[in-house]
Amino acid sequence: MLGKAFTRVVVLATTAALVVTTAACSDNPAPSASGDGGGGLPATVKILSIRQLTGPSSFAGTNGKKGMDLALDEIAAQKFLGDTTLEVDVKDSANSVQEAASFANQGVTDRSYSAIIGPEASAQATAVSAITQPAKMPTLYIQAGSDGVVTGDYTFRVTAPAASYFDIAGEYVKSKGITEAAVLYATDNPTLNQLGTKKIPELAAANGFTVTSSDSVASNAQDFTSFASKVTSSQAKAVFVMLIGPQTPVVITQLRRAGYQGEIIGMSAMGSGNLKPAGELAKGAVWPTDFTADQPAPSSQKFVEAYKAKYNGEVPNNYAAEGYDTMWFLARAIKEANSADRTAIQQGLAKVAAEGFDGAMGRLTFEGNDLRVEGVLAQWTGSGETVVQVNG
């Protein structure tokens, strides 16, 4: 429970079985699934948050939750919703699509929930959207960048798909005069597969370089020595590494130890301190991202200072920024709706999305229900990350 008077976070056990709770058994007012909303805010608005707090993508889930918690602190301190409490039930979907879907079913069935913040992994998110969109449950996502997540009026993504700002990577390769590049991607991750098989070949065509080899691995792979040997003996002067966070320092270390000296380009999974195990070996690696802590937007720097103050000087990463903006997006929508009604909140989300707002990631705009940001190119210095280029 947060130490603020009007905001409460409740963490539920991740191993709990699916419990079907009807509105009649709930202590909270039951939000309507339809209707014109309105009627004023109740004392409590209850939100279900499905996070990956354990498993290979836990770095995204745990950091996203920390950003949400900061936003909840601020919403309470500002009395942004008056005397209304945002009560957030956090459940851990770990690495399980089935678990995420089970929690989504619970959230839809339990009439006390007004909205869901869905899981980070695309495979889990698509399963959740298949449940929540037909049920007209407002659902917001962090990460989950593949197709099949934003499926209708009730599903929103508050992480810009990497492909929407990834052009900056192609421009970077062109600026280095590179004509040949290799690609390695996680085939079982929809976002990374999409980048590796579609977006990067498009960037190659637009920026005058050729993809000379394209290899796929599973997202739990840790042996990249064959790939490293192949790339080192090739003419490739750039390698695109589209892997999940824990894999990135491993593949970079193996590339460098095999003698590869060219450019290494990743995606946001290289942030969040994930390159620390590679240290100096990863120095110079770059990646497009929607946020890094030294980007210049005033709203970004305001968030960074607040985050450091809350977490004892810790520097926020992109997942924390996304979690923060997601919670503020939902709070703005609830205020606009002036109701805990699901349909009224969806209408509030649509209105806030149409107007945009300034957040941790800078100026946030939406293409339909899908976030867009300018994006920046971050670089690993050997011990941290910095901005080397801003889109736009």
Quote the pLDDT of residue 8: 37
**How many percent of the chain have pLDDT more than 70?**
89
Interval 362-370 mean pLDDT: 96
Q: Does 21 have pLDDT greater than 60?
A: no
Encoding tokens for residue 43? 């004392």
- Nearest CA to 51 among 127, 118, 146? 118
Residue 204 contacts residue 180 (beta carbons within 8 Å): no
Quote the pLDDT of residue 191: 85
Q: Can you give the three-state secondary structure of 364-379, one letter per residue?
A: EEEECCEEECCCEEEE
Q: Cα–Cα distance between 134 and 113 in angstroms, integer?
A: 16
- Nearest CA to 264 among 186, 178, 190? 178
Q: Does 76 have pLDDT greater than 60?
A: yes
- In this prediction, residue 273 has a pLDDT band, given cuts at 50, 70 and 90, of confident
Question: How many residues are there in the chain?
Answer: 392
Nearest 5°: CA angle at 176, between 173 and 182?
45
Interval 40-50 mean pLDDT: 97
Quote the pLDDT of residue 56: 79
pLDDT in tens, 235-258: 999 999 999 989 999 999 999 999
Q: Does 203 have pLDDT greater than 90?
A: yes
- In this prediction, residue 155 has a pLDDT band, given cuts at 50, 70 and 90, of very high
Question: Where do the H-state alpha helices sit in the chain?
Answer: 58-77, 97-109, 122-132, 162-165, 167-175, 190-194, 200-207, 225-232, 248-257, 298-310, 318-337, 342-355
Residue 118 contacts residue 331 (beta carbons within 8 Å): no
CA dist 197 to 69, 224, 251, 253, Å? 36, 19, 19, 24
Largest Cα–Cα distance in the chain?
68
Q: Cα–Cα distance between 164 and 194 in angstroms, integer?
A: 12
Interval 14-30 mean pLDDT: 35
Quote the pLDDT of residue 388: 87
Question: Would you tell me how many other CB atoms lie within 10 Å of the CB of residue 4?
Answer: 15
- Nearest CA to 68 among 82, 55, 53? 53
Q: Cα–Cα distance between 172 and 166 in angstroms, integer?
A: 10
Residue 248 contacts residue 272 (beta carbons within 8 Å): no
- Helix, strand or coil, per DSSP, at residue 115: strand
Quote the pLDDT of residue 1: 29
Q: Does 331 have pLDDT greater than 90?
A: yes
Quote the pLDDT of residue 31: 53
Mutual orientation of helices 342-355 and 318-337 as an angle, nearest 10°?
A: 120
- In this prediction, residue 272 has a pLDDT band, given cuts at 50, 70 and 90, of confident
Quote the pLDDT of residue 4: 34
Interval 169-183 mean pLDDT: 97
How confident is the prediction for the chain on average, in pLDDT? 90
The topology (CATH level 3) of 7-160+297-372 is: Rossmann fold (3.40.50)
Note the pTM of the prediction, 2 decimals.
0.79
CATH class of the region 163-289: alpha beta
Q: Cα–Cα distance between 284 and 130 in angstroms, integer?
A: 41
Tell whether the torsion through CA atoms of 352, 372, 322 and 360 is positive or negative.
negative
Q: Where are the domains of the chain?
A: 7-160+297-372, 163-289
Return the DSSP state at 290: S
Q: Does 304 have pLDDT greater than 50?
A: yes
Read off φ and ψ for residue 215, nearest 5 degrees. Answer: -120, 145
Q: Does 35 have pLDDT greater than 50?
A: no
Q: Does 282 have pLDDT greater than 70?
A: yes
Burial of 177 (0-12, 13-18, 19+ CB in 10 A): exposed
Quote the pLDDT of residue 391: 67
Return the DSSP state at 237: S
Interval 31-56 mean pLDDT: 78
Intrachain domains 7-160+297-372 and 163-289 with the same fold: yes
Q: Which residue, chain included where needed, has tokens 């007012």?
A: 29
Going edge to edge, which strands form the sheet with 180-186? 210-217, 180-186, 238-242, 263-265, 286-289, 376-380, 385-390
Quote the pLDDT of residue 78: 97
Q: Cα–Cα distance between 223 and 65 in angstroms, integer?
A: 31
